[in-house]
Homo-oligomer: A and B are copies of this chain.
Amino acid sequence: MGLLVRVAQSSRHLTFSSVRLISSFKAEELQVRLTSTPAAKPDNDKLTFGHHFTDHMLEIDWSEKHGWAPPVIKPVTTLNLHPAAKVFHYACELFEGMKAYRCVDGKIRLFRPMENMSRMAVTGARTSLPSFDTAELLKCLKKLVSVDQEWVPYSEKCSLYIRPTFIGIEPTLGITYPNEAKIFIILGPVGPYFPTGMKPISLLADPQYVRAWPGGCGNFKMGSNYAPTVSIQAAAAKLGCQQVLWLYGDDHEMTEVGTMNLFVYWINEQGEEELITPPLESGLILPGITRKSLLELAREWSEFKVTEQKLTMSRFVKAIREGRVKEVFGAGTACIVCPVDKILYQGEELVISTMNDPEHLTQRFYKEINDIHYYRKAHPWMETIEEDTDDVLRTFGAQ
């Protein structure tokens, strides 16, 4: 018990693409303790992202000495940690973001949840946190959503945001892997990203600000990727831009948009209609699940070329000048897709006609993914959650 492989290693290279599992917690050992004071649910039209939480959370503790403890569903309470806990000092932390939807057939479903679980395990290895069985975590997560099922908004515009988090809590100073860690999941209802219809955003593209770099960890969902971006976002806002277009390198490679993956839909230099997104191989790009899904959809449609390819600002500016850029958008869990209409670059405002065509691709993706989320279009990407509270409580012996 308690043995684990933190990082799969070859003789010379650290690889984080797979995590070898030695031990894990088990969903069948899940303990459920329900709140006696459930909170009032906010109105669906008054939801602010990240400000509302459901009644319960999942917590799973690990120590090197004792291995994984049984998972616990319990009322949301504070985490009481020693001030030397490594998470406070060395950013020993990672998270995931996913959603549950109340579908048109009344069932509650998750969107490709094993993708998040797998990414979480891989990020855990990069962060020197212990391995776990991703299928077991998903079972626990589903039970948590089931327990708080009434918090999944009765709305085809809202959803229940799910935040799996993994932190190192060993109460000692010193930059080493933590010998104590904690997984927790909190939930909260969220409203539509575009409450009054899709609105394009403007971006600041300034090469002096760099989000990620080869040999770093921009391709993992570690907490350490985020704190450094907050003051840069403020700098963008000061220049009237809503988000940052992150560039990299002397050739101003376009990498990400705020916390979203970047997509460009254009006529390329060969005159072909093409959807481009930056490739994962560079290590600069977070492997987004929306990104992956849009690529899969577009390849299935087979109506235009779909490539994962490096795109520099000089290629992009040339295409803008020649009228070849049709659409630019970000893609992520929060918005699905977010159209871009302006990029401020080297003192010049590049205007993009993303929204001009009422049948534009950004809108088509948005509708398609939304139809899948709410099961207006049945799709194997969606996983149903058990909704029978009585059954949940019976099975898991709520105290």
Contact = CB atoms under 8 A, between A and B. Distances in A.
Interface string A9-20: 100111010000
A208 B215 contact: yes
A78 interface: yes
B6 A93 contact: no
A341 to B, nearest CB: 22
A207 interface: yes
Nearest to A126: B231
Number of copies: 2
Contacts of A337: none
B83 A88 contact: no
A128 interface: yes
Closest 7 CB pairs of A and B: A50-B173, A210-B215, A224-B224, A91-B91, A90-B226, A91-B223, A213-B213
Interface string A158-194: 0001010101000011111100000010101000000
Which size bracket describes the interface of A in this complex? Answer: 35 or more
A355 to B, nearest CB: 25
A372 to B, nearest CB: 24
A245 to B, nearest CB: 13
A229 interface: yes
B76 A227 contact: no
Contact of A165 (B9, B89, B165): B89
Given A175-B259, A213-B213, A89 B93 contact: yes
A47 to B, nearest CB: 12
A90 to B, nearest CB: 4
Given A90-B230, A91-B225, A92-B227, 12 more contacts: A9-B238, A14-B231, A50-B84, A50-B174, A79-B80, A79-B83, A79-B85, A91-B222, A127-B230, A176-B233, A223-B227, A224-B227
A376 interface: no
A49 interface: yes
Contacts of A13: 208
A238 B95 CA distance: 28
A335 interface: no
A232 interface: yes
A154 B10 CA distance: 47
A234 interface: yes
A216 B210 CA distance: 6
A398 interface: no
A50 to B, nearest CB: 3
B128 A231 contact: yes
Interface in A1-43: 6-7, 9, 12-14, 16
Contact of A231 (B12, B53, B87, B125): B125
A140 B50 CA distance: 35
A85 B51 CA distance: 11
Contacts of A106: none
